[in-house]
Amino acid sequence: MAIRTIRIQGDPVLEKTCKEVKEITPRIRELIGDMLDTMYEANGVGLAAPQVGILRRLVVIDIGDGPVVMINPKILEMSGEQTGDEGCLSLPGKAGAVTRPNYVKVIAYDENMEEYEIEGTELMARAMCHEIDHLDGHMYTEKVEGALHDVTNEDEE
């Protein structure tokens, strides 16, 4: 496993739509491990494959409850609303207020291509929305309310 280079906003790879993962190949398995290493190394709570330059629908999240791998994730349900500060490993040192659903239910495949559903509220709901947006080329800065502000050592996605 290895730490990969995190792409920074302005890199065109962050603006593209990712393709579905069809099967777990050795390369995909290695990518999942590397993405987890890279996320933990950067003290992030989530990382999407395009953030390491790979245009595949693959996300890793850990809000402190252990790693979650989401392949080809789709949002099935969302409800409620939360507004709070959001950051991104592709825009280090910055954060801004974003309104997201307070509850999200997602269907995805795990690292063995087993389909599963996962629900999340608050930070988990925010992280899932943020990371899935990356798979369609969207950054949270498109949704930010007001100005970005500087942060140090805050959890970033």
Return the amino acid letter for 22: K
- Residues 35, 125, 77, 116: is their CA dihedral positive or negative? positive
CA distance 38 to 138: 20
CA distance 78 to 106: 9
Q: How far is the CB of 46 from Zn ion (least distance, A)?
A: 7
Segment lying near Zn ion (by CB under 5 A), choices 4-12, 65-73, 81-89, 98-106 = 81-89
Positions in 83-102 near Zn ion (CB under 5 A): 88
Segment lying near Zn ion (by CB under 5 A), choices 15-23, 28-36, 82-90, 110-118 = 82-90
CA distance 130 to 138: 9
Q: How far is the CB of 89 from Zn ion (least distance, A)?
A: 6
Is 157 one of the binding residues for Zn ion (CB under 5 A)? yes
* Residue closer to Zn ion (CB basis): 33 or 137: 137
> What token pair was written down for 94?
């910055």
CA distance 69 to 34: 12
- Hey, which residues are catalytic here? 131
* Residue closer to Zn ion (CB basis): 25 or 67: 67
Q: How far is the CB of 26 from Zn ion (least distance, A)?
A: 27
Which chain residues interact with Zn ion by CB under 5 A? 88, 157
